[in-house]
Structure 1
Amino acid sequence: MADNEEMQGKEEEVQQEVVQELEPEVVAVRDAATLVGDGDGDADADGARELRQKRRELEGQVKSAKAELVRLQCQLRDFSSKHFRQMEHLRFLINNRLHAKAEDPADSERERATPATAAATTAATAATTTASAKQSLSSQKGEDTNEHADWKEAIKPIGYLKSCFKRKNGTPRQANLCPDSAAYLQVTAFSNSDHALEGLAHFSHVWLVFYFHLNDNISVKAKIRPPKLDGVRVGVMSTRSPHRPNPIGLSLVELAKVQGDTLFFNGIDLVDGTPILDVKPYIPFYDAPPSPPTIAPWVHDARLRELPVVFTDRAQADIAALVDAGQLQFFSSADTFKQAVLAILRADPRSSYRREKCREQTYAFTLDATDIIVKFEDDVAHVLQVKAFRPKKEKTAGHLSQEAAEVVVVAQEQQSEEAPSDAACGGDHDDDDEATEAG
């Protein structure tokens, strides 16, 4: 806001300088015109015409200067509005990053309290910033403050999703690609949130409106490369890429149950910690189109391509041991966990970058409380090992823990005879062109 006040001060200085510079000439012309008008008729007609011409020229310059001042005022308001929107976006990203770092998965009570605290902090920051912006904008002459009312003041998360997908790596690109995936949402938007959820249990599916909180890019591209098109670019609006002008997503998921103020979902495609903006019931005769819909051919072709998946004996033993030890939060049996892994790998979760640059390397992703090590060979996904995952406090989305890195080393040693140069392709490759749907 200090920048806005400085720009307004400069604008007033320019206006005063223009007036001071032109005022003597305007006064001189007016005096001369008065003398000509009050003369005895002997004044030279040519001189009078010259004075009138000069007066018209000066008046034209004054009009041009006023028009330039109006243009500068409009430009100043435009810059102020853009600056305000960018600062709001940065504040939202920072609050979500702080919220993600503050989480402690080992403490369930803290997990439930953190979303409410983060939501309150975000709302307070947005309210303070919006009030300052409105005060600055209302000081401009003739300004309608209602036109600049910030919509983010009225939009805030109703809760933060707790998902079996801890990172973007391995998260399905679309909902229901992995029917056994699970998540839950504690609604914190009301003091009596359980009342707001009454009647929702009668619906089998709901729409989740959410914010792509892991997107840290402010600018977006008009054309992107969807992962299944092998480098071909299409318009961003013809895809479901998270990198959009307004990073808002929509997922249709199964509602497993409603328990108090908490909703439980299946067939999820969102990362842990995703801010949920709204929940709406799915109604087929309203939401489904009356006639058979048409889709782009590349979407249909990509859906038909599935990879075979093979579990090694060691991987199956690892899964059984983890289930027996009760280390899985979202899966109650080894079969449901394996079905989830199968669904994820059949759809080939690798990005175009990984398929091109990491073709011979080991792939790792996190599901529930496990690190899963996979080797892709001849379009077949081999699950090599599944090991318990303990997140670090400073871990960021897309990067493996130290323990996972050790697992990769073990997997490389086991595969050294077949592929001596294997190395873990750990971490997400943040490519703005990649059209992934992970929240």
Structure 2
Amino acid sequence: MSPQCECCGENITKLNQQVSVMRTEIKNLRQMLDSSVRAHRKQLAAVQAVVSKAGSCEEEPRPSPPSSSAHVALEQGETLIQTTPIGFIISCFSVKNGTPRQPNICSPSRAELRIQRSVFNNPEHALLGLDRYSHVWIIFLFHKNGHLSYKAKVKPPRLNGQRVGVYSTRSPHRPNAVGLTLARLDKIEDGRPRFKFLHSSDEAVAAIRGVLSADPRSVYRRTRCRDKLFFFTIDTADITCWFGHGFVEVLQVRPVGKKNELSIHLNTA
């Protein structure tokens, strides 16, 4: 084969790769457009329902007893259940990349629950006796997932494109974006249950090993992406690592927001 034919073959291969990437991007754009259309339709339907209900209520009906009316409204789905957040969680994982899907994957990880004083004037009174327990259940809200749209079927990243029902997954995109987790209680200080962050370099190494041992990459990055670099943040450190065949190497650990500062090197199989 002549050098000119080899050059043409390489160009064709590159063009095919670019076409494949463009098709993927077009597919993603279509999915985003479909989600936006569904969200718009839901909002429009809600507005129309409110307008029609306001127009039909010319005469105010005679109120029924509170208990029975509330019960009927709940059965018919006409009542919104409102909750008041008691506080906010701050953990050593500030971004999605590298966040373990289960707490036992990275046991050294810690967090802090900050109780709002707007709920109780003296929040420490509400926590009296809690320090006698080793673990606590925390019911929380995924308040940063957008809440714009959700689907009955989703494709979890570890099922290689298989569609399953949203209620059989950990997807935070659901009608009621509520989560439940079990946390080990470290201590209560200044009226706040503390789960703390990493205390030492040994804990930092153990936390990094725990995250990488579970391979936090998506199926696409593991099977189709040529770029083997992976970045994630834990506590106050940005981690840069390289995934090879059967091993992963941490290339750089540096404080968040700082550049060209190398502090820890380690290999983990």
Whole-Å separation in 1 of the counterparts to 2:102 and 2:86: 22
Measured after TM superposition, the shift of residue 84 of structure 1 is: 9.8
Q: Select the structure that is richer in helix.
A: 1
Measured after TM superposition, the shift of residue 207 of structure 1 is: 1.0
Rate the CA distance shift 1:213–1:351 in 2: closer, same or farther, 3 A. Answer: farther
Matching residue within 127, 135, 139 for 1:197: 127
2:123 aligned with 1:161 = no
Whole-Å separation in 1 of the counterparts to 2:219 and 2:150: 19
C-alpha offsets along residues 368-414 of structure 1, whole Å, 9 cap, x if unaligned? 11110011111322111101112xxxxxxxxxxxx56x78xxxxxxx
Q: What are the equivalent positions in structure 2 for 1:137-152 lying under 5 Å apart?
A: 139-141=57-59, 147=73, 148-152=78-82
Matching residue within 212, 219, 242 for 1:375: 242
Whole-Å separation in 1 of the counterparts to 2:219 and 2:161: 7
C-alpha offsets along residues 405-428 of structure 1, whole Å, 9 cap, x if unaligned? x78xxxxxxxxxxxxxxxxxxxxx
Rate the CA distance shift 1:251–1:373 in 2: closer, same or farther, 3 A. Answer: same
Aligned to 1:385: 252
Alpha carbons 2:166, 2:174 under 8 Å: kept: yes
Alpha carbons 1:176, 1:253 under 8 Å: kept: no
Measured after TM superposition, the shift of residue 366 of structure 1 is: 0.7
Rate the CA distance shift 1:375–1:83 in 2: closer, same or farther, 3 A. Answer: farther
Aligned to 1:181: 109
Measured after TM superposition, the shift of residue 177 of structure 1 is: 2.0
Q: What are the equivalent positions in structure 2 for 1:72-87 lying under 5 Å apart?
A: 82-83=46-47
Whole-Å separation in 1 of the counterparts to 2:185 and 2:109: 12
Rate the CA distance shift 1:79–1:335 in 2: closer, same or farther, 3 A. Answer: closer
C-alpha offsets along residues 101-158 of structure 1, whole Å, 9 cap, x if unaligned? xxxxxxxxxxxxxxxxxxxxxxxxxxxxxxx99x969955456796455322xx1211
Aligned to 2:208: 341
Give 5+ residue unaligned stretches, structure 2: 1-41, 64-68, 262-269
Which amino acid in 1 is paired with 2:98? Answer: G
- Aligned-partner SS, 2:175: coil
- Aligned-partner SS, 1:173: coil
Whole-Å separation in 1 of the counterparts to 2:152 and 2:192: 38
Matching residue within 364, 371, 392 for 2:231: 364
* TM-score for both structures, normalised by structure 1: 0.42
Aligned to 2:145: 215
Aligned to 2:155: 225
2:167 aligned with 1:237 = yes
C-alpha offsets along residues 142-175 of structure 1, whole Å, 9 cap, x if unaligned? 56796455322xx121111111111111111122
Alpha carbons 1:165, 1:171 under 8 Å: kept: yes
- Aligned-partner SS, 1:372: strand
C-alpha offsets along residues 250-280 of structure 1, whole Å, 9 cap, x if unaligned? 11111111123101127xxxxxxxxxxxxxx
Alpha carbons 2:228, 2:244 under 8 Å: kept: no
Aligned to 1:282: none
C-alpha offsets along residues 319-346 of structure 1, whole Å, 9 cap, x if unaligned? xxxxxxxxxxx22211111000111111
Structure 1 runs, 4 residues or longer, greater than 4 Å off: 78-81, 135-140, 142-146
Measured after TM superposition, the shift of residue 357 of structure 1 is: 4.3
Which amino acid in 1 is paired with 2:125? Answer: H
Measured after TM superposition, the shift of residue 359 of structure 1 is: 4.2
Whole-Å separation in 2 of the counterparts to 1:137 and 1:200: 51
Q: Select the structure that is richer in strand.
A: 2
Aligned to 1:272: none
Alpha carbons 1:360, 1:376 under 8 Å: kept: no
Aligned to 2:9: none
Whole-Å separation in 2 of the counterparts to 1:204 and 1:82: 45
> How many residues get paired?
206
Q: Percent identity?
A: 42
Whole-Å separation in 2 of the counterparts to 1:338 and 1:376: 17
Which amino acid in 1 is paired with 2:205? Answer: K
RMSD: 3.2
C-alpha offsets along residues 69-119 of structure 1, whole Å, 9 cap, x if unaligned? xxxxxxxxx98882499xxxxxxxxxxxxxxxxxxxxxxxxxxxxxxxxxx
Measured after TM superposition, the shift of residue 183 of structure 1 is: 0.7
Matching residue within 168, 172, 180 for 1:250: 180
Q: What are the equivalent positions in structure 2 for 1:351-430 lying under 5 Å apart?
A: 351-390=218-257
Whole-Å separation in 2 of the counterparts to 1:82 and 1:361: 46
Matching residue within 170, 181, 186 for 2:98: 170
Alpha carbons 1:224, 1:235 under 8 Å: kept: yes
Whole-Å separation in 2 of the counterparts to 1:173 and 1:364: 16
Whole-Å separation in 2 of the counterparts to 1:173 and 1:84: 39
Alpha carbons 1:160, 1:185 under 8 Å: kept: yes
Aligned to 1:277: none
Whole-Å separation in 2 of the counterparts to 1:138 and 1:196: 46
Q: Higher Cα Rg: structure 1 or 2? A: 1
